[in-house]
Amino acid sequence: MAGSSSAVAGSTAPGRNPNRPKYSKFSQQELPACQPILTPKLVITAFTIIGIIFIPIGIASLSASQDVVEISNRYETECIPEGYRSTKDDKIQFIQNPQSNKNCTRTLTVPKHMKQPIYVYYQLDNFYQNHRRYVKSKSDKQLRSPGSESDTSDCKPENNANGMPIVPCGLIAWSLFNDTYSFTRNNYVSLTVNKTGISWKSDREHKFGKGVYPKNFQSGGLIGGGSLVSSIPLSEQEDLMVWMRTAAMPTFRKLYGKIEFDLQANDVIEVSLKNNYNVYSFNGKKRIVLSTANWIGGKNDFLGVAYITVGGICFFLALCFTALYLKKPSRLQDPSYLTWNTNPGPL
Amino acid sequence: MRGWEKVGSSRSNLGRAGSTVTTNRITSTVRLGRVEPQAPGHRNIFCNDREANFLVRFKGNSISTTKYNVLTFLPKGLFEQFRRVANLYFLTISILSTTPISPVSPITNVVPLSLVLLVSLIKEAFEDWKRFQNDMAINNASIDVLQGQKWVEIPWKKLQVGDIVKVKQDGFFPADLLFLASTNADGVCYIETANLDGETNLKIRKALEKTWDYLTPDKASEFKGEIQCEQPNNSLYTFTGNLIIQKQTIPLTPNQVLLRNFVLSVMLEKRMPRALEYCNGEKGCSLRNTEYIVGAVIFTGHETKVMMNSMNVPSKRSTLERKLDKLILTLFGALFLMCLIGAIGSAIFINRKYFYLGLTADVEDQFNPNNRFMVFILTFLTLITLYSTIIPISLYVSIEMIKFIQSTQFINKDLHMYHAETNTPASARTSNLNEELGQVEYIFSDKTGTLTRNLMEFFKCSIGGEVYGTGLTEIERGAAQRSGGNVGKAQKSPGLIHEKGFNFDDARLMCGAWRNEPNPDTCKEFFRCLAICHTVLPEGEESPEKITYQAASPDEAALVTAAKIFGFFFYRRTPTMVHVRESHVEKMGKVEDMSYEILNVLEFNSTRKRQSVVCRYPNGRIVLYCKGADTVIYERLADVGNELKNITREHLEQFGSAGLRTLCLAYRDLSSSLYESWNEKFIQAKSSLRDREKKVDEVAELIEKELTLIGCTAIEDKLQEGVPSCIETLSRAGIKIWVLTGDKMETAINIAYACSLINNDMKQFIISSETNEIRDAEDRGDQVEVARIIKDSVKKDLKKYLEEAQHYLRTVSGPKLALIIDGKCLMYALDPSLRAMLLNLSLNCTSVVCCRVSPLQKAQVASLVKKGARKITLSIGDGANDVSMIQAAHVGVGISGLEGMQAVMASDFAIAQFRFLSDLLLVHGRWSYHRICKVITYFFYKNLTFTLTQFWFNFQTGFSGQRFYDDWFQSLYNVIFTALPVVILGLFDKDVSAKLSKMYPELYKEGIRNAFFKKRVVGIWAFFSFYQSLVFYYFVSTSSSTSQNSGKMFGLWDVSTMAFTCAVVTVNLRLLLMCNSITKWHYVSVGGSILAWFLFIFVYSGFLIPRDQNNEFFVIYVLMSTIYFYLTLLLVPIAALFGDFVFQGVQRWFFPYDYQIVQEIHRHEPEHSSRMELLEIGPPLTPDEARSYAIAQLPREKSRHTGFAFDSPGYESFFASQAGVYVPQKAWDVARRASMMRSRPKLPPKS
């Protein structure tokens, strides 16, 4: 009976011992392997190599970062008339009043020569663009194609205005930042701000549709922020794109524009701004930032410092270990350190 | 038509049958006279009449052991899967994540869950398919059925109740049959039930006389009986029914029932895929010594008794897995805490001042600042779905896969554990317990068949002060190896005779050469003593080649066999005479038949420890031959010739320390007057009515004195190959070995010596019931009194020994301790009041020997240690009497390759030889433990790290429960990007080679201490997870908060993709860092995983997917276009692994584990050559070859212990049964009885 299964067994291993397992490196667990042992030498070498690689990178990054010139000015309080500054409610009242004069001037001094392009950023604090309710409150479909206008299910409560779908819908677009800046150099030359090319290309070309025009935007009861020119398609509304690439942290900068003009040291830049955006409700801060950029980007010492620190610690440890190694050779390779040799007796 | 009413009634009863049968089945089965079938549950079967039976619709004979069929597979399989808590948890989470509460899309949890389920289901389906194939093979096996007037072969499944079948020799019974006729006379047949009860003797079944004739097809076709019998039930040993034949009702007994084959069913039930192969390999599972039988089918298919006997052995879980449960619980705790923190934070954070969040009056509950409690609750749920990755979903399925491959590919296929002689590879019958093998601290071993081969061999002797026999015992060989002795090649004498019971090689004695020895007369006396002084019965033909000896103990048979080979062939026993064919004293090559009149036999018992025979030579010389333990013989020697005594004593000690069982032989010439006067007293004593035994013993003392010493014999209780060295290795590994045996104390101690479990340097604590006090009490016969006395004495002993043991423990270099306890005392010591003391004492002992224990006691001892001491235990045994012990311990190991299958069936692992235990534990167990620990800790680490990163992020999102990673990242993290390398690690990681594992058994102690899965280890991993998650989050988020060289800024999804990339790279590299050995598969899997991530993200972010949110679109390309990406990718993994690296380096340098030191010691040795060497040695030296070690090299340690042979549990009952007295079988006799039967020739067909 059941000749089939036994025949299989028989045919696979003919001879006396049909049950003898076949030899294979895998089943005998003899696959060729290297044994990476963290010997002191290896540890020291690894640390040294890391040090050698990291410290130069760190120095390069740090110096690059140091070369970046950055001017930053906080203005949210100063741009409120004195009379409204005392309480939060006053500030809110001021900012929400469409009649109040929101113009404001800030003066910046260029500390060092700044090579063009000079990037203009606005920086907000305590603004949770990464809040769950906020992040998802948009409709990529709607932004992309004119046909999906009514695809606003994620956009509540900013999905419909007067029964019509809002384009672009959602809280993100609704709360669009709308302070504006214009710059004058040394009181007489006005600096043009180039506001094209401030968004990522992929956003421009794919995520925001060419045929999609703002509709019913900011027409609801409550105005969240800036409005959009309804005759310009979304694919050209770069401020919106920048704003809608939500920031990771509650403190973030967003690119406002570029000044394609070299600034000299001690130049005085006058910023005329319209202080439209309400950060007073949530005690936010606003800054305007002018910064150059080089191969590493904007000013960011962190990478350089981190590289130097890690590299430095590695070097330091390599030295320590070397000293230890020379002073007190390893316990390894010495059978007398085996636990059963050091403390005899039952287990 | 006949039987209509009955059919009707039985059908109407069918419904009720189920409930009543169970209660009926224990009722007595045999009644005399006409018996009405017990209503209500009975079935009527019309033999040989399919039409009549058709109406009742009995079940068919096809069986199905599959769990599922095509329709039920999905629902049932899924149900099984969701019985696992982890899966159920993820199902809940998945459901939760379809609600708007969830921050993540259902994908996050559904994808990993479905993948895990898919893998599990495929495995289930595969296994079920195998079972299905097995079922098909069995169902389609063919059987001869009577159709018309001839036998027709049909498949088993077509068989129906009432059919008449023919089963041929060595065939299987296809169903439960009513035995009708047999080719044997008397209508008997023999069946083997070794697999059922472990007994290898054949069972006899006898058909009813009425049916004997229905043997040939034409006759059988006339058989028109009607069987009324009980409904199918699971009682194997009972059967109630009647056969109505020719209007006569004859009661049926179990004796007429042949049960469907057991092995097959059990194997199928236990889901052993190779059941059929196995059975074909066996020497036939059922019908033996019978050409064929004819039977009528009574129960078919699932209604057969064995199939109804489906016992569900609860599957064991490993200790590590139970510890893992605790870890998972801890993770749940952590999850709870994280969610709590987040939920509280969220409730505090939420505020209308954040106008951009659009918290209008009708905002949903989760963000409604007016109801912060609701916010708290809902955010809590949100966070549970978000942080669910902290529970490693694929952990269980990964571990299962790893263990499955470990057991099927590594353990089952290990050539080191393949036993060529029995053609048996090791077999892991469960894959649950691999890592448990790496933590065993106590081994409970059976003796017979496990440590020993239950084979007594005449090995050496000392005659007249001269040692004969050149062999070496295992123990000597072990000692020689330890002291570095060299292994020479065997020099066998030409014409070496080796037969069962005889393994002696010395040319000086063989082939009559003893005549040329200095003392041929002593030799002659020696051989005669062997040939005459015994109680052996010869069986079979009276020729030296064909005769077999039936003896109470194998020792005796060995001695008589030895005498036969030396030329004193005992061939016949009559009540008064012993006939010996002696080789002629003077003339070489001639034989003469001598008859010795046996005057008296002074029997062996355990107090006398000797046996004497008074015989009269044909020439009238009266001699008393005596053999016995050296202590009792020496007391009774005549006071002359001290030199011989001293030399022989030395030899005895030499034999004893070699682990041999010794007997002293002596004789005494009696004058006829002396004999006559003694004989009178003897007869008187024999015929006394009171205290007969005592009196006989006293009279025997009178004549058993002034003996002349002839010499001594040394019998090897043949150990299994390599047992002492294996035991030594295991005890060096910190494993304590307890021998639990049904044997007598002396035998057990003897074996313990032979296995080097006990040696003379040890302090022995003996708790025995063989004390005078207890014996006196037993003689008085008051059971209550006896119990009290034994209990008191056990208590006293325990107390005393415990104090002593503690005293020794306090001293620095106290002796090692050994406890020897017998079954009767054990019974009382296991009493709850004394249990603690027993445990305490025995845990302090290096070895423990329990003798005369019942199977139940074996199990009790195992669970005492398992539960009382919470140590991990392993039981190993080969027989049915070990089953309970095997099931009681954490790990059960059965010795396979022998006839009995019961132990193997109950076991978790089956190996062919005890010595393979060292491979199983020290190599496979240790590796498995290491690997599984690593796998678990790694899983713990990678999921914790991943989840903590999310956790940190949430602090900066206003505790909103925003996910940091994309849904797909999160769902594929566990199942794709980090899944394979850890499996590779679990399969291939190898800290030290197999050879080193056995060379340094002490490495095993790390497993016993659970050094790799302690709280501290997990804590360290948790700490570094914490650290790494901080690095991932803060390094990436801080360094990305700046503008890029194009002046543009990163958004949330750029940052998170960066962080995820770092995490995947780091976590995969971390795996390489923890590997002890790196094969190409490591590189492939680690590289592949990282590559898989990049491939995935390239594709995933390359297209706009028709989804509402395309957050990831183009992100990776944007990232990779910046220098920042590369700088971070270099920095973060190194900074993250920096801590681990330093820790590992420092740990290795300053606090190395033992295995790390061993790695270093041997790091320059090429590993493979060593392993290949081992393979080349291949089958170890045969016993004969191995006897070649030079004796001279042996350190001759003196032993106070001289083992003495000649005792055996069956001894008394053997004589009693010879005398026709019934002695109740003791539980511990079962194994021995079975083994005695084994030596008996197959039952010949009675004529």
The predicted-structure confidence for B744-768, as pLDDT tens digits, reads as follows 777 788 788 878 788 777 888 888 8
Sheet strands side by side (includes B442-445): B427-428, B909-911, B891-895, B873-877, B442-445, B736-740, B847-851, B817-822, B763-767
Q: Rounded CA gap, A188 and A269, in Å? A: 10
Provide, as residue numbers in chain B, all residues whose Cβ is less than 8 Å from the Cβ of A338.
1000, 1002, 1154, 1157-1158
* pLDDT above 80 (res B1207): no
User: In one letter, which amino acid is A131?
Assistant: H
pLDDT of residue B297: 87
Predicted pLDDT at B902:
66
Q: Do B1160 and A347 touch (CB under 8 A)?
A: no
Contacting residues of B for A16, CB less than 8 Å apart: 423
For residue A236 the two structure tokens come to: 């050209």
Residues A310 and A244 in one domain: no
What integer is the mean pLDDT of B58-74?
80
3-state SS, residue B129: helix
Classify residue B872 as exposed, middle or buried by CB count within 10 Å of its CB (0-12, 13-18, 19+): buried
A23/B956 Cβ within 8 A? no
Q: What percent of chain B has pLDDT over 70?
A: 82
Examine the fold and report which residue of A245, A266, A292 is the final residue of a domain before the chain moves on: A292
Q: What angle do CA B1093, B1097, B1100 make, to 5 degrees?
A: 135
- Residue the block writes with tokens 């302070």: A179
Work out the mean pLDDT of chain B and round it to a whole number: 79
Contacts of B1142 in chain A (CB under 8 A): 317
Instruction: Give mean pLDDT, residues A129-149.
Output: 87
pLDDT at B852 over 60: yes
Average pLDDT over residues B383-395: 88
How far CA B964 is from CA of B713, B1023, B1036, B1119, in Å, comes to 83, 22, 12, 16
* pLDDT of amino acid B1228: 32
- Is residue A9 assigned to a domain? no
Which of A260-274, B689-703, B849-863, B1220-1234 comes out lowest in average pLDDT?
B1220-1234
Q: Say yes or no to pLDDT of B182 above 60.
A: yes
Q: B1237 pLDDT band (50/70/90 cuts)?
A: very low
**What is the reported pLDDT for B859?**
85
Q: For position B1202, what pLDDT does the model report?
A: 56
Q: Are A109 and A268 in contact (CB under 8 A)?
A: yes
For residues B101 and B365, what is the distance between their CA atoms, to the nearest angstrom?
Answer: 10
Q: In this predicted structure, what is the pLDDT of residue B1203? A: 53
**pLDDT exceeds cutoff 80 at A239:** yes
B143 or B345, greater pLDDT: B345
Assess whether A113 and A223 both reside in one domain.
yes
State yes or no: cis peptide before B1001, omega within 30 of 0. Answer: no
| Binding site per annotation, positions of B | 446-448, 556, 604, 627, 661, 741-743, 852, 858, 878, 881-882
Most confident of B99-103, B302-306, B522-526, B1053-1057: B1053-1057
Cβ of B277 and A5 within 8 Å? yes
Is A163 in the same domain as A184?
Answer: yes
pLDDT at B535 > cutoff 90: no
Closest CA to B37 of B295, B255, B227: B227
Continuous segment of H or E residues that includes residue B892: strand B891-895
A284 located within any domain = yes
More confident residue, B569 or B50: B569
For residue A96, list chain B residues with Cβ-Cβ distance below 8 A: none
Angle at B1067 between CA B1063 and CA B1072, to 5 degrees: 150
pLDDT at B8 over 80: no
Position B1140 pLDDT exceeds 70 = yes
Instruction: Find the mean pLDDT for residues B524-549.
Output: 83
**pLDDT value of position B928:** 93
Which pLDDT does position B1167 carry in this prediction? 54
With CA atoms as reference, the chain B residue closest to A309 would be: B1135
Which of B952, B998, B1048 is the best residue to mutate to test the A interface, defined by the most A CB atoms within 10 Å of its own CB?
Answer: B1048
Burial B512-541 (b: 16+ CB within 10 A, else e): eebeebebeebbbbbbbbbbbbbbbebeee
- Average pLDDT across chain A, whole number: 85
Q: At what angle do helices B1123-1150 and B1052-1074 cross, to 10 degrees?
A: 30
Residues A82 and A206 in one domain: yes
Report the alpha-carbon distance of residue B212 to residue B188 in Å, rounded: 9
The listed range with the strongest mean pLDDT (A84-88, B653-657, B1093-1097) is B1093-1097
Task: Report the pLDDT averaged over residues B869-875.
Answer: 89
Tokens of B727: 């035991």
CB contact under 8 A, A54 and B1134: yes
Length of chain A: 347
Question: Higher model confidence: residue A330 or residue B460?
Answer: B460
Contact call for A253 and B357, based on CB within 8 A: no
Residues of A in contact with B420 (CB under 8 A): 17, 20
By Cβ distance, the residue of B1045, B1135, B1156 closest to A293 is B1045
Q: Which residues of B are known binding-site members for ATP?
A: 446-448, 556, 604, 627, 661, 741-743, 852, 858, 881-882
Residue B943 confidence (pLDDT): 93
Q: Label residue B497 by pLDDT band (50, 70, 90).
A: low
Contact B127, B268 (CB under 8 A): no
Distance CA B65, CA B72 (A): 14
Nearest beta carbon to residue B957 from set A6, A131, A207 = A131
pLDDT tens by residue, A55-66: 999 999 999 999
Task: Show residues of chain A in contact with B1042, CB under 8 Å.
Answer: 297-300, 302
Q: What is the pLDDT of residue B1028?
A: 94
Q: Is the pLDDT of residue B17 over 50?
A: no
Q: Specify which residues B305 forms β-bridges with.
A: none
Q: What is the pLDDT of residue B70?
A: 83
Whether residue A52 sits in one domain with residue A158: no
β-strand partners of B144: B153, B166
| Residues A90 and A43 occupy one common structural domain | no
Query: What's the rounded Cα separation, in Å, for the pair B727 and B741?
Result: 16
> B359-375 pLDDT, tens per residue?
887 788 888 888 899 99
Quick check: is A10 in a domain?
Answer: no
**Pairing outcome for strands B202-206 and B226-230:** unpaired
Does residue B314 carry a pLDDT above 60? no
Evaluate whether residue A261 is within a structural domain: yes
Please report, for residues B601, B649, B668, the alpha-carbon distance to residue B710 in angstroms, rounded to integers and kept in the order given: 19, 12, 10
Distance from CA of B30 to the nearest CA of A (A): 36
Q: DSSP assignment, residue A114?
A: B
Res. B1077: pLDDT tops 80:
yes
Q: For residue A8, is it within any domain? A: no
> How confident is the model at residue B496, as a pLDDT?
61
Among candidate residues B49, B144, B176, B446, the one labeled active-site is B446
| Model confidence at B1079: pLDDT above 80 | yes
A43:B1149 CB<8 A:
yes
Give the pTM: 0.80
Do A55 and A91 lie in one domain? The reply is: no
Looking at the structure, do residues A108 and A253 belong to the same domain, yes or no? Answer: yes
Interface test with A, best of B404, B1044, B1049 (most A CBs within 10 A): B1049
Helices B980-988 and B393-405 sit at what angle, rounded to 10 degrees? Answer: 40
Percent of chain B at pLDDT exceeding 90: 17
Q: What is the pLDDT of residues B624-642, one digit of tens each?
A: 999 888 878 888 888 777 7
Q: Are residues A107 and A176 in the same domain?
A: yes
- Angle CA B729–B730–B731, to nearest 5: 95
Residue A230 lies inside a defined structural domain of this protein: yes
pLDDT in tens, B1152-1166: 888 888 888 887 776
Chain segment B822-844, per-residue pLDDT in tens: 888 888 888 888 888 888 888 88
Which of the residue ranges B8-12, B187-191, B400-404 would you say has the lowest mean pLDDT? B8-12
Name residue B145's beta-bridge partners.
Answer: B152, B165
Mean pLDDT of A105-126: 91
Is position A345 within any domain? no
Q: Which of A175, A282, A297 sits opposite B1044 (nearest CB)?
A: A297
Query: What average pLDDT does the segment B320-328 reach?
Result: 87
Least confident of B1-5, B302-306, B521-525, B615-619: B1-5
> Do residues A264 and A184 share a domain?
yes
Q: Are residues A52 and A198 in the same domain?
A: no
Mean pLDDT across B523-547: 83
Quick check: B173 and B286 in contact, CB under 8 A?
yes
Q: Which domain holds residue A311?
A: 37-68+297-326
A189-191 sheet: strands from edge to edge: A103-109, A268-274, A180-185, A189-191
Q: CA-CA distance, B1190 to B1203, in Å (whole number)?
A: 23
Q: Is pLDDT above 80 for B482?
A: no
Whether A50 and A197 share a structural domain: no
- Whether the pLDDT of residue B84 is over 70: the answer is yes
Domain boundary among A250, A267, A292: A292
Contact list in A for residue B958 (CB cut-off 8 A) is: 128, 131, 250
Beta-strand (E) ranges in B214-340? 226-230, 241-245, 248-252, 257-258, 287-288, 292-299
Q: How confident is the model at residue B423 (pLDDT cuts 50, 70, 90)?
A: confident
Q: Which of A4, A8, A24, A29 to mutate to test the interface with B (most CBs of B within 10 A)?
A: A29
Q: Is A256 helix (H, G, I), strand (E, B) or coil?
A: strand
Region B895-904: what's the mean pLDDT?
70
- Specify whether B135 is catalytic: no
For chain A, the domain total comes to: 2
Tell the residue number behind the tokens 């500030």, with chain if given. Answer: A91
* Whether A297 and B1145 lie within 8 Å, measured CB to CB: no
Interface contact flag, A130 B957, Cβ < 8 Å: yes
3-state DSSP call for residue B45?
Answer: strand
For the CA atoms of B1157, B1160, B1165, B1167, the dihedral, rounded to the nearest 10 degrees, stands at 60
- Residue A249 domain flag: yes
- Asked if the model's pLDDT at residue B856 lies above 90, the reply is no
Residue B620 half-sphere exposure toward CB, CA atoms < 13 A: 3
Asked if B455 and B503 touch (Cβ cutoff 8 Å), the reply is no
**For residue A119, what is the nearest residue in chain B, using CA coordinates?**
B1047
CB contact under 8 A, B1079 and A33: yes
- Residue B901 confidence (pLDDT): 65
CA-closest candidate to residue B1145, choices A309, A47, A51, A316? A47
